[in-house]
Amino acid sequence: MLEPTGIKKWKENFPNRFLDWRSNFFKIHQITHDNKLRQLKFKILPRIVITKKELKKFNMASDDHCKFSTRTDSLMHTFLECDVFFSVFSSAIKWFNDIHKLNVRPSAEQILLNLTDEIALLAYCA
C-alpha cells in the first residue's frame, strides 16, 4: 500500500513517532465521538489543514504570517509551536486534570498525532 505524502512529511518531522501510521487513523474513532473533532483529526494526519502558508502560495492571502506572531504560519507552527495555541492547549489540559483529578501532561505532539498509548501511560503513572 502506498504511503500518503502527508504521512511521509510527519515521519520527516517525527521519525520515531509515526511508525504505525494506519493505527493513528483508526484511533480517531476511539478518541472522540465529536464529529467536528474527528473531521479535524482526519485533516491533520494527512496534512490537509489549510493555513496562511498555503493561502499565500495560491495568492489567497497577502502574507503567510501567523495571526499572533511574525513567524510563518504552517501546520507545524499552528499546532506545535504557536504560543497562543500552547496557552489554549495548556488551559484545556489543566481543566481536564481538574475535572478528573489527574495530573496528566500530554504534549501537543502526542495529542496531535493520536499517540494514545503514550497518553494512557501518562495517566497510569500520574
Q: Per-residue pLDDT tens for 3-27? A: 888 889 988 988 887 678 888 888 8
The answer as to whether 29 is a domain residue is no
For 29-65, the DSSP string reads: HHH---HHHHHHHHHHTTT----HHHHHHTTSSS--B
The answer as to whether 121 is a domain residue is yes
- One-letter amino acid for residue 24 of the chain: N
The answer as to whether 72 is a domain residue is no
Global confidence as pTM: 0.78
- Count how many domains the chain has: 1
pLDDT at residue 123 in the model = 59
Give the residue numbers spanning the domain of 122. 82-126
